[in-house]
Amino acid sequence: MAESETEVKYQQPDERGHFGVYGGLFVAETLMEPLSELRLAYEKFMVDKDFLAELDWELQNYVGRPSPLYFAERWSKELGGAKIYLKREDLNHTGAHKVNNTVGQALLAKRMGKSRIIAETGAGQHGVATATVAARLGLECVVYMGAVDIQRQAANVYRMKLLGATVVPVTSGSATLKDALNEAMRDWVTNIDDTFYIIGTVAGPHPYPAMVRDFQTIIGREAREQIQQHEGRLPDALIACVGGGSNAIGLFYPFIDDKNVAIYGVEAAGDGIETGKHAAPLCAGKPGVLHGNRTYLVEDENGQIIETHSISAGLDYPGVGPEHAWLKDCGRAEYVAINDKEALQAFHDLTKIEGIIPALESSHALAYATKLAPTMDKDKIIIINLSGRGDKDIHTVANLEGITL
């Protein structure tokens, strides 16, 4: 657009990883040097033609990109408002957007001469995506996973084991994603010489939030081209679910300078924001420092991190990527919350109306669309990031409905 040419382009973070007051580098001293080494490698290879060509090849031939941008015609009609397009990240190899990032980081690990990969995982999607790429590249792989999550995502645990990864149960703290991240950090600080830590979301110390974003922006870059092919113009709104926020930033980032595109991030309201049992730091938390960066957190008045609640393990995290904190504060994106019940309804709706079983994480974005789309004219366009497929969640959904599979 002509107007954006004269405006200052969005350019975050600064050279030390700050998105406004958020982000940065808050880690124990032993990690400062490895993070500096990682930052230099990332800066070098993200402009290296050979590296980018290798990454492109893997994304095309191994991941299966580009993923389609699908017009959900029946569902749009049913909602009676804007036209809804789904960015089908669920069709990627391993069934979610996570693999875009793990392929990128694993290739970087190889270039850096690291032989061992570690990762944290919540729902198991990032763990599976990491174990998959580690198998593909012949790297040793250790995945840390909260003991509680291991129980609710048994299929993904077995998948990781089949792929040759070691899955380490984490029993400290609340035994969920945040504790898995703590434990992965502890492993990394102990084994920094040969180990590469693949963080699965746009959180953590610099350069992770920027690096993971850069690997995920393939989503938004493709969507931007595809919508122009389908509709000859940019969309009016983007919607994506936000746990750590990597699928969301991946879709949003290439549209940030397009001021006419409204951006909505959807957090997990769990049992409801008012009950306190949620995972919505942007909607109901306040800024603090956790896992290497300053961002919005679900915390108590003494700065202790509070256990979060969501039907979706992938959104069950008390922090959020620092770039989302910044986009909230500067007003470029709006963050809303969807509770378990609403997400579950959207899960069923999409399955029945479009024949697509969405992940419970993505169902939060879909549920917000059911509120937003009817308020918009029929010629308006929404793109939703369908970040993952729901096969992994069928046991959870069946359980909630009293069915044993």
The catalytic residue positions are: 98, 120, 387
| Residue 337 Cβ vs another protein, minimum distance, rounded to whole Å | 22
| Residue 258 Cβ vs another protein, minimum distance, rounded to whole Å | 33
Is 170 or 266 the residue whose CB approaches another protein more closely? 170
| Residue 305 Cβ vs another protein, minimum distance, rounded to whole Å | 4
- What's CA 162's distance to the chain center, in Å? 24
Is 5 or 300 the residue whose CB approaches another protein more closely? 300
| Residue 298 Cβ vs another protein, minimum distance, rounded to whole Å | 11
DSSP run (H or E) holding 263: strand 262-272
In the numeric block, which tokens belong to residue 116? 């061992």
| Residue 32 Cβ vs another protein, minimum distance, rounded to whole Å | 6
Is 77 or 286 the residue whose CB approaches another protein more closely? 286
CA-based nearest residue to 195, from 277, 76, 106 = 106
Is 33 or 225 the residue whose CB approaches another protein more closely? 33
Give SS3 for 294: strand
Environment class of 135 (CB within 10 Å of its CB; exposed 0-12, middle 13-18, buried 19+)? middle
Is 276 or 374 the residue whose CB approaches another protein more closely? 276
225 CB-side CA count, 13 A = 8
Query: Which residue in this structure is represented by tokens 């830590």?
Result: 197
Give SS3 for 30: helix
Interface positions with another protein (CB under 8 A): 16, 24-30, 32-34, 172-173, 178-179, 182, 185-186, 189-193, 288-292, 294, 297, 299, 301-305
DSSP 90-127: GGSGGGBTHHHHHHHHHHHHHHTT--EEEEEESSSHHH
Orientation of helix 125-137 relative to helix 98-111, angle to 10°: 40
